[in-house]
Amino acid sequence: MDKLIDLQDIHFAYPAHEGTLKGVNFSLNAGERIAITGPNGAGKSTLFHIMVGLNKPNQGRVMAFGAERKIEADFKDVRRRIGLVFQDPDDQLFCPTVAEDIAFGVFNLGHKKDAAMEMVDRTLTHLRLNHLRDRATHNLSGGEKRLVSLACVLVMEPEILLLDEPTNALDEETQERLIEILNNLPQALVIISHDSHFRRKVTTSYLSLENGILVKPAPKCLHAAK
């Protein structure tokens, strides 16, 4: 099986709302880097939540790593292998210190303390965030929070990385750093982003979520077609 994720004809609606997703087909192969765009409220984040089983589709099949995933127990394994970075880092960071927050996921995977701390330090070094190790999470700057929330997910060594608007409110320098980090990662990536500059630098193809379905957008101008 080549396809890491394969969504087939996904329909989803929030209670008391009309359908958000109306037949989404999506697949991701190893090493692929895909960007997803679309208007606000189109259901991009929902799509991510469906991939990791935080939302269950009303209709359609979620295939991940070669098996169909239906119930909560199926997704426990999926969440180990797919790392989801939330849109708002504050949603993710809840421990008093950076090191503890990064260790949280590793402990959830069942590692012992020594091994976990070693993984935390390795990840911090890799992302050059060692100076933040013992800082309190809630008074980091916006950019630092973003990088730490990425570290929290990377430390679990996922096979796929889902990033939900990672460049939101980042200054240029942090953005460049994020691009550099992402381009050195071996994982398959799916990124929700409205930033075309960022998309071009990090991903190889892009899709647009419009009216509840994923489409390959037609180039809007001649430059983009080249």
Partner 1 sequence: MSQFGPKVSNSMRLRGGGLPSSWVIQIDPRARIVAAFLFACSVVAMDGFVALGCALLTSVVLLVSAGLSGKKTLKKVMAMDGFIIFMLLMLPFTTPGEAWFNVGPFTATKEGVYKAIEITLKANAVVMTLLALVATIDAITLAHALNRLRVPENLVHLMLFSVRYIDVLKQEYFRLRTAMKARCFQMGNNLHTYRNVGYLLGMLLVRSIERSERILEAMKCRGFQGKFYLLDDFHFQRRDRLFSLLSFFFLLFLFTLDSYYG
- Going through 82-147 in order, the beta strands assigned E by DSSP cover 82-85
Select 164 or 195, whichever has its Cβ closest to partner 1.
Answer: 164
Select 48 or 198, whichever has its Cβ closest to partner 1.
Answer: 48
Query: Residue 224 CB, nearest distance to partner 1 (Å)?
Result: 33
Q: Output Rg (C-alpha) for the chain, integer angstroms.
A: 18
Select 113 or 122, whichever has its Cβ closest to partner 1.
Answer: 113
Dihedral of alpha carbons 56, 73, 33, 125, sign: positive
Query: Residue 153 CB, nearest distance to partner 1 (Å)?
Result: 7
Query: Residue 4 CB, nearest distance to partner 1 (Å)?
Result: 17
Q: Six-digit token pair at 193?
A: 């982003």
- State how far the Cα of 154 lies from the Cα of 101, in Å rounded to an integer: 12
What's 61's DSSP letter? E
CA neighbor of 197 nearest in space, from 210, 187, 206? 206
Q: Residue 2's Cα: distance from chain center in Å?
A: 20
Coil, strand, or helix at residue 48?
helix
Coil, strand, or helix at residue 189?
strand
67 contacts 74 by C-beta, under 8 angstroms: yes
CA neighbor of 166 nearest in space, from 83, 63, 89? 89
Query: Residue 184 CB, nearest distance to partner 1 (Å)?
Result: 22
Query: Residue 155 CB, nearest distance to partner 1 (Å)?
Result: 10
- Note the residues at the interface with partner 1 (CB under 8 A): 14-15, 45-46, 49, 52, 54-55, 76, 79-80, 84, 86, 88, 90-96, 100, 104-105, 107-109, 137-138, 152-153, 156
Query: Residue 107 CB, nearest distance to partner 1 (Å)?
Result: 5
Select 159 or 179, whichever has its Cβ closest to partner 1.
Answer: 159
Select 72 or 173, whichever has its Cβ closest to partner 1.
Answer: 72
Select 86 or 198, whichever has its Cβ closest to partner 1.
Answer: 86
